[in-house]
Structure 1
Amino acid sequence: MLTQLGIFLRKLRLDCGEIMKEMATKLDVSSSFLSAVENGKKKMPESWYDTIVNLYNLDKEKQDELMTAIEESQKSLEINLEDLSKEKKRLAFSFARELENMNKEEVDKMKIFFKKDGE
């Protein structure tokens, strides 16, 4: 089953008149790997976001659409805790545990708290 990311990539390919092999070549992967990413069987390499934005000259709206598709297609998020203090690691685990229990108001407050300047 296609993920949101897969739908975005397929549409992008079709809009550019490309077949899967052409996009896979541009991304320096096999067609089967690209297909697995589209179908949610493989995780998209982090470098693809910038690569796709640059290769296909995506405007701000399409960049946002791509990021949303990536976020909606992810089943998990990997965070490197290697260089964090014990205190920061515990905070990360606590936050992850509480995420499921947060109501909309709490989520909105966290979004404001973490929002970067200019966004």
Structure 2
Amino acid sequence: MTTQLGKELKKLRIDLGITLMGLSELVGLSPAFLSAIETGRKRVPDNFLDLLASKIPTVANDRQRFEVLINQARKEVRMPLESSNYQDAALATEFARRFSSLSTEEKSRLHSILGGK
């Protein structure tokens, strides 16, 4: 089953007029691996967004949306905590623990606070 990221990558390829092979040559990954990313059979590599954005201006200009699609395909979000104190790390952990039980209204309020879409 194609992921939302896969659908967007296919649309991107069509818009650019390139094949899966063309995209694979552009970013330096095999066509089979890209196909597996599109269908959710392989995990999206950590450097994938950087590879795409460095070669395709459309992706660079819409980087945040592609980051969301990649996180959605991975079914996880990673958050760096290297400069966080204990309280910040505890907050991030509690948010992650409770995320799936937040109501639509609570998520809406958080979007407003964070300036999200």
TM-score scaled by length of structure 2? 0.75
Greater percentage in helix: 2
After TM superposition, list the pairs within 5 Å mapping 1:19-34 onto structure 2. 19-34=19-34
Amino acid at match of 2:17: G
Q: Which residue of 1 aligns with 2:105?
A: 105
For 2:102 and 2:5, locate their aligned partners in 1 and report how far apart those are by CA, in whole Å.
Answer: 26
Q: Deviations over 1:64-95 (max 9, x none)?
A: 76455335433111223344222211111111
For 2:98 and 2:68, locate their aligned partners in 1 and report how far apart those are by CA, in whole Å.
Answer: 23
Which fold has the larger relative contact order, with Cα–Cα distance below 8 Å and residues 6 or more apart in sequence? 1
Q: Which residue of 1 aligns with 2:86?
A: 86
Q: Which residue of 1 aligns with 2:8?
A: 8
Contact 2:2–2:40, Cα closer than 8 Å, also in 1: yes
After TM superposition, list the pairs within 5 Å mapping 1:64-75 onto structure 2. 66-67=66-67, 69-75=69-75
TM-score scaled by length of structure 1? 0.74
RMSD: 2.9
Contact 2:44–2:73, Cα closer than 8 Å, also in 1: no
For 2:5 and 2:91, locate their aligned partners in 1 and report how far apart those are by CA, in whole Å.
Answer: 30
Q: Which residue of 2 aligns with 1:52?
A: 52
For 1:78 and 1:67, locate their aligned partners in 2 and report how far apart those are by CA, in whole Å.
Answer: 11
Is the partner of 1:23 in helix, strand or coil?
Answer: helix
Amino acid at match of 1:6: G
1:111/1:74 CA distance change after superposition, 3 Å: same
Unaligned segments of structure 1, at least 5 residues: none
1:8/1:111 CA distance change after superposition, 3 Å: same
Overall identity of the aligned pairs, in %: 28
